[in-house]
Amino acid sequence: MSAIHASQMPFFAAHAPFDRMEQTHLLWMLERMKLAYYAQGEVIVSPEQGVVERFLVIKQGMVQGEQNVADASEADTWLELSEGECFPLGALLAHRSVAGVYRAAKDTFCYELPVEDFHTLLGLSAPFRDFCTRRIANLLEHSKQVIQAQYTQSSAGQQSLTSPLSAIIRRAPVTCAPQTSVRDVLKLMQESRIGSMVAVDDAGRPLGILTLPDVLARIALPQIDLDQPVISVMTRQLTALPPQALAHEAALVMAKQGFRHVLVVENERLVGLVSEKDLFALQRVGLRQIGSAIRHAQGLEDLQQSAADIRSMAHNMMAQGVAAEQLTQFISTFNDLLTARIIELEFATSHPAMTADRLCWIALGSEGRFEQTLSTDQDNALIFTVPEGMTADQVREQMLPVARRINETLALCGFPLCRGNVMASNPQWCLSLEEWRGIFLNWITNGAPKALLHASIFFDFRSLYGAHALAEELRLWLARVASNNSRFLHQMAENAMRIRPPLGVVRDFVLGKENRLDLKLNGITPFVDAARIFSLATEVTQTSTIQRLRQSAAALYIPVTEVDSWINAFLFIQMLRLRHHYEVSVHQKGVDTQALDNLIDPALLNELDRRILKEAFRQARKVQTRLALNYQL
């Protein structure tokens, strides 16, 4: 290695993807690179130059991408690249010219590799090829590995949550025939040192399961005849998942339904059994216990303890590097269980005649999207049916006091009352199904600023408790009506474009008060708003941002790779929010969730996370560009 190339190595070792490349491939690249200088304002690459002929890496300085060549201004700048970043990957991979102008924002030095050598390097180096073809996904994987390295003791637990069930099945299932005697089954369980037995038919289809708690409750205490068929004392209502299902899905099933085991079934045949111990022995997160405690809570003290357990669980998972999508699903699922239990207790004690089949409690906002973090207030509402002989006002008069107590109990459990009073205890949001249709139709046909604001909150509704069919009927009706109103969708898109990702021209980011970024307002919201509009336009009934983007993409002719980049960016910003909440909670013991915010100082991020955050904000700009293109804004 020459002295010149040796001096360049530390620079490339500090930046992705070069830090992962084999030294021989990196040296091969350096031997073919030249260093070029560009004065401030000088064009580096432009559409007029034709098909791109070189791959560039910024050694020093800054490069801006401009969409308007004739009259470049801050509004035209759509991209800002700094030291260690490379460009223009899309044009190089597609063998085309660039879409905009790349200009030196200040005196800049770039390493340049001829296009022929670039394509040769793609074939030589897998890390380089992976980065170029999956830029943001590659960076995110790099960041994830850095996080996991900080929590090495938890790495095995993290793997279990993200692995398919087929990868964590410990042994072939021990089974019996349904007519085997209880005595023989108990003997086999003892000899095999197992805590459960599954009865299967001749084709291997599971028919029932017997667990150790069942032995106590159904065999020992009743002192039944041990010679009777075991199927008579087994649980016949079974829950099964396919081998390709992820471990976190099994954990959610256990938490929701209170099970200790989940059957793994392929083509109707039992192939394995996954227990809570398999999933969480390393993590020490008793999810089923939390779910069970919530379902059996009898008073405020029990409910408050469960709420504290949920936050503790979230902290533990955060420390172990659990992915943002999974973690927010866990938080939202347990908050759903807690809210449902509060509603059950309130109706049982205050108004037993008010049955669940007459009402539907709906979650709105982030909870409606399954995207709750540790910092969340209440956004909820009620849908009810009007019995014959009563009016909507009469039913509402009965509902409101109960709804108020539910909102107050949720507040005592750590979910602050909504400052905008978007709660079921507000008469405005405690409505019959027909009244909700009228309200939604008015917002859609009116399109006033306040109506657009309400739509951004209420159109994310999700059934949480009661008559789920009421919410489903309203959802299907809304999908039909909204998709047919292009004027309303245009207004929604116009309103969404007012919140811009905080990318700067002179600096990396546009900072707010105290030099901080609002990750929720300027980072998450552009994705959430765009996904909502796309889903309304295509009659997608999902409420989660990720599912809305995935399911609406095909109908809108958006490439899968483009949507994947949006989703990766959204999840990274979400993970930064969760990490921020976690770190504040750890460093300020006992901090109130109301004190948690979404403001971060980017100067405190490491170089990799700063780079990914910039790329994530660029993706937010791209999703808004797609929105503007679709609605000619």
Q: In this predicted model, what pLDDT tens digit does every residue of 536-565 receive, in sequence order?
A: 999 999 999 999 999 999 899 999 988 998
Q: 137-141, 148-152, 337-341: which range is least confident on average?
A: 148-152
Average pLDDT of span 600-610: 84
| pLDDT score, position 45 | 94
Res 42 pLDDT > 50: yes
What pLDDT is attached to residue 71? 36
Q: Is the pLDDT assigned to residue 463 strictly greater than 70?
A: yes
The answer as to whether 372 is a domain residue is yes
Whether pLDDT at 507 is above 70: no
Q: Alpha-carbon Rg of the chain, whole angstroms?
A: 28
pLDDT in tens, 209-251: 999 888 988 998 888 999 999 999 999 988 899 999 988 888 8
- Residue 19: its pLDDT value, please? 87
Q: Is 160 helix (H, G, I), strand (E, B) or coil?
A: helix
The answer, yes or no, to whether the previous bond of 17 is cis (omega within 30 of 0) is yes
pTM: 0.67
Strand order from edge to edge, sheet including 462-466: 430-432, 380-384, 359-363, 462-466
My answer on whether 194 and 124 are in the same domain is: no
- Pinpoint the alpha helices (H) of 55-114: 89-94
- How, if at all, do strands 206-211 and 101-104 pair? unpaired
pLDDT-derived band at 207, boundaries 50, 70, 90 = very high
> Mean of the per-residue pLDDT values for the chain?
86
**Residue with the larger pLDDT of the pair 514 and 310:** 310
Look up tokens 């040296």; give the residue: 27
pLDDT at 75: 35
Q: Where are the beta strands (DSSP E) in 217-345?
A: 240-241, 261-266, 269-275
| Burial of 9 from C-beta contacts in 10 A (0-12 / 13-18 / 19+) | middle
Identify the pLDDT of residue 280.
Answer: 61
Question: What is the domain range of residue 259?
Answer: 165-280
Give residue-wise pLDDT tens across range 560-574. Answer: 988 998 998 999 999
Residues 427, 303, single domain; the answer is yes
* Residues whose CB falls within 8 Å of the CB of residue 223, separated by 6 or more in sequence, listed in order: none
Query: Strand 430-432 to strand 380-384: parallel, antiparallel, or no bridges (unpaired)?
Result: parallel
Alpha-carbon torsion, ordered 432, 435, 441, 443, to 10 deg: -100
Q: What pLDDT, on the 0 to 100 scale, is given for residue 70?
A: 36
What angle do helix axes 433-446 and 449-458 make, rounded to 10 degrees?
130
Residue 574 and residue 102 in contact, taking contact as beta carbons nearer than 8 Å: no
Structure token digits, residue 398:
């009965």
CA distance 560 to 266: 29
User: What percent of the residues of the chain are helix, what percent strand, and what percent coil, each to the nearest 5?
Assistant: 55, 15, 30
Q: Which of 370, 404, 439 is the last residue of a domain?
A: 439
Average pLDDT of the segment spanning 586-613: 75
Q: Kindly report, residue by residue over 394-430, the tens digit of the pLDDT.
A: 999 999 999 999 999 999 998 999 999 999 999 999 9
pLDDT in tens, 438-459: 999 999 998 788 889 999 999 9
pLDDT tens per residue across span 271-289? 999 887 777 643 444 577 7
- Average pLDDT of the residues in 602-629: 88
- Specify if 259 maps to a domain: yes
| Across 26-30, 107-111, 444-448, 571-575, least confident range | 444-448
Contact 56, 87 (CB under 8 A): yes
Q: What is the mean pLDDT of residues 53-58?
A: 96
Question: What tokens were used for 162?
Answer: 């993200």
Are 373 and 263 found together in one domain? no
Mean pLDDT of 256-274: 89
What pLDDT was estimated at residue 261? 87
Average pLDDT (578-590) is: 72
Number of domains in the chain: 3
Task: Give domain status of residue 65, yes or no.
Answer: yes
Question: Which of 619, 608, 629 is CA-nearest to residue 145?
Answer: 608
Q: Residues 412, 312: one domain?
A: yes
Domain identity same for 249 and 354: no
What is the identity of the amino acid at 93?
L
- Is residue 167 pLDDT above 80, yes or no? no
pLDDT of res. 145: 60
**Mode of pairing for the β-strands spanning 359-363 and 462-466:** antiparallel
Domain shared by 42 and 68, yes or no: yes
In 3D, which of 62, 16, 14, 81 has the Cα closest to residue 617? Answer: 81
Q: Domain boundary at 133, 154, 185, which?
A: 133
pLDDT score at 479: 93
- Between 318 and 186, where is the model more confident? 186
E strand intervals along 402-496: 430-432, 462-466
Per-residue pLDDT tens over the stretch 333-353: 899 999 999 999 988 777 656
**Residue 55's pLDDT is what?**
96
| Per-residue model confidence (pLDDT) at position 248 | 82
Do the domain assignments include residue 29?
yes
Of the ranges 139-148, 561-570, 587-596, the best mean pLDDT one: 561-570
Same domain, 257 and 313: no
Answer whether 569's CB lies under 8 Å from 546's CB.
Answer: no
Report if residue 607 sits inside a domain: no
Please check whether residues 306 and 419 belong to one and the same domain.
yes
Distance CA 310, CA 291 (A): 9
Burial 398-433 (b: 16+ CB within 10 A, else e): ebbebbbbbbebbbebbbeebeeebbbbbeebbbbb
Q: Which residue has the tokens 């004190």?
A: 595
Tokens of 294: 């919530």
How confident is residue 164, by pLDDT bands cut at 50, 70 and 90? confident
Residue 217 counted as domain residue: yes
Q: How far is CA 601 from CA 48, 349, 518, 576, in A?
A: 39, 48, 9, 11
Please check whether residues 339 and 272 belong to one and the same domain: no
Spatial CB neighbours of 419, under 8 Å, sequence gap ≥ 6:
377
Local confidence band at 364 (pLDDT 50, 70, 90 cut-offs): very high
Task: Look up the CATH number of the domain holding residue 435.
Answer: 3.30.460.10
Q: Which two tokens stand for residue 138?
A: 């590659």
Same domain? For 314 and 433 the reply is yes
Confirm whether 506 is domain-assigned.
no
**pLDDT band, very low/low/confident/very high, at 79 (cuts 50, 70, 90):** low
3-class DSSP assignment, residue 533: helix
Q: Is 104 helix (H, G, I), strand (E, B) or coil?
A: strand
Q: How far is CA 373 from CA 81, 318, 410, 572, in A?
A: 31, 11, 16, 14
The mean pLDDT of 244-273, rounded to a whole number, is 88
In a domain, 205, yes or no: yes
Q: How confident is the model at residue 133 (pLDDT cuts 50, 70, 90)?
A: confident
- CB-CB contact of 437 with 474 (8 Å): yes
Over residues 80-89, mean pLDDT: 87
Instruction: State how far the alpha carbon of 52 is from the alpha carbons of 59, 101, 190, 619, in Å.
Output: 20, 12, 71, 23
Token pair belonging to 527: 């994705």
**Given a cut of 50, is residue 104 above it in pLDDT?**
yes
Rounded to whole angstroms, the Cα distance separating 29 from 297 reads 64
Residue type, 579: R
CATH classification at residue 12: 2.60.120.10
Whether the predicted pLDDT of 68 surpasses 50: no
- Using CA atoms, how far apart are residues 608 and 20, in angstroms rounded to an integer? 14
Q: pLDDT band for 143, please (50, 70, 90 cuts).
A: low
pLDDT of residue 108: 96
Last residue of a domain, one of 417, 439, 461: 439
Res. 595: pLDDT tops 80 = no
pLDDT for the residue 377: 82
* Same domain assignment for residues 178 and 212: yes
Most confident residue range from 1-15, 161-175, 451-465: 451-465
Gap between the Cα atoms of 541 and 369, Å rounded: 11
CATH number reported for the structural domain that contains residue 239 in this entry: 3.10.580.10
Q: Are residues 305 and 435 in the same domain?
A: yes
Residue recorded with tokens 């990490």: 579
- pLDDT at residue 72, as a whole number: 33
